[in-house]
Structure 1
Amino acid sequence: MWSFAKALLAGLGLILLPVTASAADPSGSFGVVSDIHFDPFQPPQLARDLRTIDTGRWSEQFSRFPAEPASQWGSDTNFVLLQSALGAIAERLADVDFVIYPGDLLSHSFETDAASAFDVAVGSVEQRRFAERTARFVIASLTGALPDKPLIVALGNTDSECGDYEIEPGGEFLAETAEFVRNAAGSERVAADFNESYRAGGYYALRHPTVENGVILVLNDILWSRKYANRCGGNGQDAARLQLQWLRSKLAEQAANDAIVWIVHHIPWGIDAYSTLHSKARNCRAGIVPFLREDVTGDLVDLLRSHAGRMEMNFSGHIHSDDFRLLLDKDGQAVAVDKIVPAISPVFGQNPGFQLFTYDVRSGKPLDYVTYYLSNLSSLSSTVAGDWRQEYVFSEAYGETEFSVQAVARVWKDLARPGLVRDAYRRDYNQRHKPLSTADLPAYACAIANLDVESFAQCHCAP
């Protein structure tokens, strides 16, 4: 197997190093942290100082300010919450093999907040450079909390110097963050085409840190979003098409060599249940809101479906809640799962949270996971420590032996009837801040496995 894997990954431009797991204990662990949305404008006057000093001194600069509370529900992550989260991550994920970050380093409205703080125009060089530096600061903060652990970073919709959903393919933001993303994952681990693919659109491939014949594909699916607009350039749709071609090519390579694939991206598969429920459209079907452009969704689902047998793990964030997406084959059987992980930012009303997974190092299959959440956000401050608690273990909460595609499919089906599974899903969706309402639950349950508008309409809009 070693010689086969070595030949396989060499052909993909990936360097293979010996894995450390022993044959006697093939299980490993990894963490997933997402959607920090760091806001460096709290307090507002601090940003003026940060723009003139090295990012390595930013934490020192924040510490000089008087004691203040952590950002609360409805706001993005300030320094107090960031420090508390980093402390919990350093403690709970100390023994992991690696960490996955499915996107959103920067706060919402970053570009307008920066322009206001610096009294410059949106799009100015000063505003754009500050976005790049803040993204690098967040990546450095995560790697600093877990030194010597590979950090696999995907970009989110706020990760841009231009604006929300406005990443510029081939632009300065990608050029200025490339080295940090590459070094975080491991320069010896990323594919030979990293510079080309990341700078073109923020996507890349890398050798799996531990699974011998495993590859991780990191996507920038902001390029495929219905909301995407390349306001800083003119080749956004070309980049979106090229990324899909790149993904098709990479998956074909893995199929030819019978490799294990993990996919990391930001936007969940399928339908946005929240926006659909809050749509003001004239009828139910017209109000359905897909996350991605419909022309992309069809091609993407077909592509993923054709390679589902080798996709052991898929991770996304974006909605800030703890959820799942299932990929069904044409016979309606679940063949892959996309795990949507909680956020650190409480801007959408959830408690901050992150997850710790166990997995089989030989097969790349997930085994189980535990969620940790911040239970005292309302009292957290510079002088009051965060109370980060274990929220639940998947197998225990849902009465399963392990986390798997089949286990999530059973959870999905159990949401149709009252019971412990439905109660657990509603309670933990927002990391125990506010349970998902029983009135909204059917739409969220439909969204788990109905990834296109037609199938979701049949589930959600049926009389």
Structure 2
Amino acid sequence: MLARFAFAVAALAAATLPLGSASAQMPIPPLQPDPGEGIFLLMTDIHFDPFAEPSLVPELDRNPVSKWPEIFKTAGMSIQPYGQDSGYALTTSALGAAAAQGMTYDYVLYTGDYLSHGFNANYRRLAGPSPQGLASFAVKTAQFGFHLLSGTFTEIPIFGVMGNTDSVCGDYEIAPNSAFIHGIAGQWAQLSGQPERFSQFRTGGFYKAAHPTVADQDLIVLNNIFWTPRYKDTCNADGGDPGSAMMSWLDWQLYQTRQAGRKAQILMHVPPGINAYSTTHRSGACEARVSSFWRDPYADDFLALMRKYAGTVDYTFSGHTHMDSFTVIRDSDGTPLIASEIAPSVSPIFGNNPAFTAFLYDRQTGAVKDSATFYLSNLEAAAKGTEPEWRLEYVYSKTYSTKDLSPASRADVAERISNDAPLRQQFSALYAVKAEKKQVDPSNWKAFSCAQTATSREAYTACYCAGQ
């Protein structure tokens, strides 16, 4: 308890209350639960960068995680600008802002990517003449990120997901049964509040837990880096096919959930469906440009499972793109089955503003009813030493005029975005979290619009390539 409190103090001391000014007054929460409702927090893609101040790396390498806050604070580091990952100042500012919104969270979801981009190369370059070892430093960095999370949000469960950078072998190279997974397993199990559910985690980084407040719901947490086109296990040439093994495991877990009369939500890092950004940056014929987030056969196998267990699963949560979006998985007849939330990142490396999202939900059914997204509104100034200003960016129900965030409501929003130019402009502004540099514009909006409701390659091709 004392250790977690110490981390909370360290995190909040570095943060600015998100009121748009340096006021200590508690803001009016944009989400206010009625009886039987609760709020949970979703954060993703912090990409904690321990190399932001290179001179600190040898000292961090020599010391345990408990000493890291003191080491960082003595350096007086500033917030990272666009094009960089999150160092200590930005991470603690984001966590402090999330904690200062006047909302009581039931639990926290973190959907992956704890380590910064280029982690391995930076360690080898900056660790100094007596390095303690890449694997040890990677584990400590991931543990430190979770220490900051748990120190800020004490006494509530935190559920973690493996991301593509979360590997000692390299980006998209998570090795099953690796030292990295073993190094974080105990901490993740403890912070979930359900350590008995982590018996298989050390094998592949996936697990199934009971929902912390909804009595008849499960949380199924995937390590779906195994399903991505870039995945390879360079550390273990004889590692087999962990993607296929996890797909079979998922089928079995969903079967058990349904047989028990329960429901499930699925947590993952890489979202299902089509990567609209990659699709718009490829050349060649339209059909050849269509880029799936997952490789065959996993994309089709997952959609088949979602249709098989329609009514058991209604929501997935992911990150990875660093942008704010969603997609809807439909049945073969077009019926919306599952809403897939794609959360914006804390890291601003891809030009987005740092952000996090709070969700309002029904504690009896688990139904997601609304959300509020907060963002760092003055990143460029904060990177130069100005006090960071975290603001409410938007409330979903008000911005999109919808009664809830059910799959049907999400599908309706997607349809309106496709046909309503002003609403499309609103989505485009929110996609990169109100960053000045837009990711979605009139020249490419169709690629992103189709991705919201066409999750298979065939359906997306029919939507996006029509008339081209």
TM-score normalised by length of structure 1: 0.90
Given that 2:224 and 2:268 are in contact with CA atoms closer than 8 Å, whether structure 1 keeps it comes out as: yes
The amino acid across from 2:316 in the alignment is N
Give the equivalent residue in structure 2 for 1:265. Answer: 268
* Alpha-carbon contact 1:89-1:145 (below 8 Å) kept: no
Question: 1:344 offset after TM fit, Å?
Answer: 0.1
Counterpart in the other structure of 1:11: none
What's 1:206 paired with?
A: 209
Please give the alpha-carbon distance, in whole angstroms, between the structure 1 residues aligned to 2:51 and 2:103. 30
Does 2:94 correspond to 1:90? no
SS of alignment partner, residue 132 of structure 1? helix
Q: Match for residue 441 of structure 2?
A: 437
Q: Distance in 2 between matches of 1:207 and 1:385?
A: 40
Structure 1 partner of 2:314? 312
Q: Distance in 1 between matches of 2:238 and 2:386?
A: 48
| 1:118 Cα deviation after fit | 2.0
Is 1:133 the counterpart of 2:140 in the alignment?
Answer: yes
Write out per-residue CA displacement over residues 321-369 of structure 1, whole angstroms, 9 at most, x where no aligned residue.
Answer: 1100110101011111100011000011100001000111001111101
Within a 5 Å distance, the mapping from 1:315-394 to structure 2 comes to 315-381=317-383, 384-394=386-396
TM-score (norm 2): 0.89
Aligned residues: 433
SS at match of 2:218: strand
Shift of residue 382, structure 1, vs aligned partner: 8.7
Shift of 1:248: 0.3
The answer to which of 421-430 and 375-384 deviates more is 375-384
Structure 1 residues 92 and 235, CA, compared in 2 at 3 Å: closer, same or farther?
A: farther
Tell whether 2:82 aligns with 1:70: no
The gaps in structure 1 that reach 5 residues or longer are: 1-23
Amino acid in the other structure paired with 1:199: R
Instruction: Please give the alpha-carbon distance, in whole angstroms, between the structure 2 residues aligned to 1:440 and 1:73.
Output: 23
How far 1:383 moved relative to its partner?
5.1
Q: What is the alpha-carbon distance in structure 2 between the residues aligned to residue 166 and residue 423 of structure 1?
A: 37
Q: Residues 275 and 119 (structure 1 numbering): CA distance in 2 closer, same or farther, change over 3 Å?
A: farther
Q: By how many angstroms is 1:223 displaced?
A: 0.7
Give the aligned residue type for 2:291.
V
1:30 paired to 2:45: no
Instruction: Measure, in 2, the Cα distance between the counterparts of 1:265 and 1:237.
Output: 21
Secondary structure in structure 1 of the residue aligned to 2:41: strand
Q: Distance in 1 between matches of 2:373 and 2:423?
A: 16
Q: CA offsets per residue over residues 279-327 of structure 1, 9 Å max, x none?
A: 13x3111121111112111111100121121213210000011100110
User: Alpha carbons of 1:94 and 1:399: their partners in 2 closer, same or farther (altered >3 Å)?
Assistant: closer
Alignment of 1:457 onto 2:461:
yes
**What is the root-mean-square deviation of aligned Cα atoms in Å?**
1.8
Paired AA for residue 180 in structure 1: Q
Structure 2 residue matching 1:378: 3-state secondary structure: helix
Task: Provide the rounded CA distance (Å) in 2 between the counterparts of 1:120 and 1:371.
Answer: 44
Return closer, same or farther for 1:415/1:167 CA change in 2, 3 Å cut-off. same
Given that 1:168 and 1:232 are in contact with CA atoms closer than 8 Å, whether structure 2 keeps it comes out as yes
Partner residue of 1:229?
A: 232
1:415 aligns with 2:417: yes
Contact between 1:93 and 1:356, CA under 8 Å: does it hold in 2?
Answer: no
4+ long deviations beyond 6 Å = none
Deviations 1:72-108 (A, max 9, x none): 1111111111121121122137511000011000101
User: Could you tell me which residue of structure 1 aligns to residue 58 of structure 2?
Assistant: 48
Structure 2 partner of 1:59: 69
Please tell me the residue identity of whatever aligns with 1:209: P
Determine which of 280, 298, 301 is the counterpart of 2:300. Answer: 298
Task: Report the alpha carbon displacement of residue 454 of structure 1 after superposing the two structures with TM.
Answer: 1.6
Alignment of 1:103-182 (within 5 A): 103-118=112-127, 126-182=133-189
- Pick closer, same or farther for the CA change 1:93–1:109 going to 2, 3 Å: farther
Name which of structure 1's ranges 340-349 and 178-187 shifts more when overlaid on structure 2.
Answer: 178-187
Structure 2 CA distance for partners of 1:61 and 1:222, relative to 1, 3 Å: same
Mark the CA change 1:311 to 1:283 in structure 2 (over 3 Å): closer, same or farther. Answer: same
Assess if the C-alpha contact under 8 Å between 1:343 and 1:352 holds in 2: yes
In structure 2, the CA distance between the partners of 1:268 and 1:236, relative to structure 1 (3 Å rule), is: farther
SS in 1 for 2:311: helix
How far off is 1:59 after superposition?
1.1
**Is the Cα contact below 8 Å between 1:213 and 1:260 reproduced in 2?**
yes
CA distance in 2, matches of 1:350, 1:425: 14
Q: Deviations over 1:198-220 (max 9, x none)?
A: 11110001111000111100000
Report the Cα distance in structure 2 between the residues aligned to 1:398 and 1:231, rounded to whole angstroms: 45
C-alpha spacing 1:427/1:381, structure 2 compared with 1 (3 Å): closer
1:125, CA displacement in angstroms?
A: 6.9
Following superposition, the deviation at residue 239 of structure 1 comes to: 1.6
- Whether contact under 8 Å (1:368, 1:403) holds in the other structure is yes
The one-letter code of the counterpart of 1:206 is A
Aligned equivalents of 2:132, 2:54: Cα separation in 1: 19
User: Paired residue for 2:14?
Assistant: none
Q: 1:374 is matched by which residue type in structure 2? A: L
The structure-2 alpha-carbon separation of the partners of 1:371 and 1:257, relative to structure 1 and needing over 3 Å to count, comes to same
The equivalent of 1:288 in structure 2 is 290
Equivalent-residue separation in structure 1 for 2:291 and 2:254 (angstroms):
28
Partner-residue secondary structure (3-state), 2:375:
strand
1:147-186 deviation digits (Å, cap 9, x = unpaired): 1111110010001111100111011011111011111111
Counterpart secondary structure, 1:275: helix
Q: Distance in 2 between matches of 1:331 and 1:235?
A: 41
In structure 2, distance between residues paired with 1:93 and 1:235: 50
How many angstroms apart in 1 are the aligned matches of 2:323 and 2:47? 14
Q: Please give the alpha-carbon distance, in whole angstroms, between the structure 1 residues aligned to 2:128 and 2:202.
A: 30
Whether the 8 Å CA contact 2:48–2:91 is kept in 1: the answer is yes
Q: Give 1:187 deviation, angstroms.
A: 3.2
Q: Which amino acid aligns with 2:85?
A: D
Q: Confirm or deny: 8 A CA contact 1:111 1:128 kept in the other structure.
A: no
Deviation at 1:236, TM superposition (A): 4.4
The one-letter code matched in structure 2 to 1:102 is T
